[in-house]
Chain A
Amino acid sequence: MSWAFLRDLLSGVNKYSTGIGRIWVAVVFVFRLLVYVAAAENIWKYEHDEFECNIKQPGCENVCFDHFFPISHIRLWALQLIMVSTPSLLVVFHVAYRENREKHHNQKLYRNPGEIDGGLLCTYLISLILKTGLEIVFLVLFYKLYNGFKIPRLVKCDIKPCPNTVDCYISKPTEKMIFLYFLVATSCLCIVLNLSELSYLIFKHSIKSYLKRYMKKQQ
């Protein structure tokens, strides 16, 4: 699977973003996408083969692995990256819609189709709220699925067909934990960036509209 598609999409988003939005794109590219592709994928590559239980009973390892990892960390990470990047496309679509409208009517309807004002501002704010919401949802999901952000070295499993409580050993738990913390840290950083961008935009536009109203009153 090539992540270049997502990269090209996000590069398009960069044009219509504020300064903080551009920092967000850089953080997503470098600290999340790149780390995922260059480092994290390889850690979880053979997680099933390397998962070992102290039992010879066939099928016991399979059911135990399935019980402890309903969805692998790495797949959840990939889903998170995709979901969190997608709301930015709303902005791209809205700008494309504006440009199409201008073409259709054959006249200049907007001062600049890419300028964040009016309807585009609403779309931008909605995309920010969605992004933040999805980040929080995924963080909560990680926390609930894996009992906090830790990966134990040893798990005890007593699901059929395992005849008794069996010791199962997870491979590379320390390394996986380091990257899990890295994921959490970058998610939190992205949430902070989104919230600051949200507050910046709201503040800026409320000042603008207040000044407009004030000028109108004076006139």
Chain B
Amino acid sequence: MGDWSFLGEFLEEVHKHSTVVGKVWLTVLFIFRMLVLGTAAESSWGDEQSDFMCDTQQPGCENVCYDKAFPISHVRFWVLQIIFVSTPSLVYMGHAMHTVRMEEKRKMKEAEIEAQEMKNSGDTYYQQKCSVAEKAELSCWDESGGKIILRGSLLNTYVYSILIRTAMEVAFIVGQYVLYGIFLETLYICQRAPCPHPVNCYVSRPTEKNVFIVFMLAVAVLSLFLSLAELYHLGWKKAKERCSRSYKASPSTAPGRLESAPQAERAQMYTPPPDFNQCLSSPNGKFISPFSNKMASQQNTANFATERVHGQEHTAAEGPFIKSSYMESPEVASECAAPAFPENYLHEKRRLSKASRASSKARSDDLSV
């Protein structure tokens, strides 16, 4: 098992950023494949050539017959299978790490820019609030444990990684069947130079090997099934999301949907209005600095509020898609539930807004500003 620690450490990271089914798949990989291979299967195949006996005294005949019977040993084949099946997950992990790093860099830069602009304006009150917001933002990121929400290009990478993993799994299962069939026979009849005639060769420990072959085949099929289940789960969620979004487009249905919003969400909506500066940043923040372009930022905040309400309803209704930062930092989330924007803007937008509740909350906010 120590040999597999090279791969194990990488896969631990993947474990954090996977769906529930993905985590089950990884556990199956660790325990039923790596551990079994490293401990039991290796020793079973240990004497595979030394105990491969051919009924001949011709020197070299056993060597060539063994080579013909086993072009690649089962154990090495399974090692390659595990490596190739794990590789797509590593690619996804690389993308996730890259996303996390880019997010952190962007937030650091934004915090720096805001700090500078605050300094320039010379307003100490806002400076303090900004540093608080900055700290809150950075600590929120740490608190969330660097977890990320699976959407956009990251979701695509995840889906592609599962597709490639499934393809690899199928390829290796088919490859194993083509090379060896399912069961290993005790007797192998070999006709190859320098053997003078067809020679009987006997495989060592065929029954024990068959047990492991069937076990590894079953685990491969189980992994394949888990990958397919994960694909279905992801595809179904995406389709449902799309359907509900297009369904929500009609305003008559909007109040109905909002009425069905869970208690916690409603409680969130009726919490006292947040301080404006604390809402400049959030773990899911897509805010542009309000000092750069007010109208653009207002449009963004309106859009973001809409999206957040959608997101909250979805995560509340269907359970967390991925155990993500959304749930893990509720304090900041509740405070930043709705930003402030001017009343006249709101009147124009309210008809088009898909989340009238969020808008109404902002209106009370607006008055305080």
A residues in contact (CB < 8 Å) with B: 3-4, 7, 19, 22-23, 26, 29-31, 33-35, 37-39, 42-43, 46, 49-50, 52-55, 153-154, 167-175, 178-179
Contacts and interface: CB of A to CB of B under 8 A. Distances in A.
Contacts of B237: none
A169 B60 contact: yes
Q: What is the interface of chain B mostly: helix, strand, loop, or mixed? A: helix
Interface in B1-31: 2-7, 10
B49 A175 contact: no
A52 B60 contact: yes
Interface stretch (B66-74, B165-173, B283-291, B356-364): B66-74
A85 to B, nearest CB: 13
A46 B49 contact: yes
Interface residues of B, number: 35
Contact of A43 (B7, B38, B42, B76): B76
A153 B79 contact: no
Contacts of B62: 52
Contact of B6 (A7, A167, A172): A7
Which 4 interchain pairs have the tightest Cβ spacing? A169-B60, A169-B63, A174-B71, A39-B79
Given A46-B50, A54-B194, A30 B72 contact: no
Contacts of B64: 153-154, 169
A39 B81 CA distance: 11
A179 B70 CA distance: 14
22 contacts: A19-B98, A22-B94, A30-B7, A30-B86, A30-B90, A34-B3, A34-B7, A37-B3, A38-B38, A38-B79, A43-B73, A54-B194, A154-B64, A169-B64, A169-B194, A171-B67, A174-B67, A174-B72, A175-B67, A175-B70, A175-B72, A179-B76
Contact of B10 (A29, A43, A178): A29
Contacts of B75: 39, 42
Q: Quick one: which of B63, B79, B90, B98 has the most chain A CB within 10 A?
A: B63
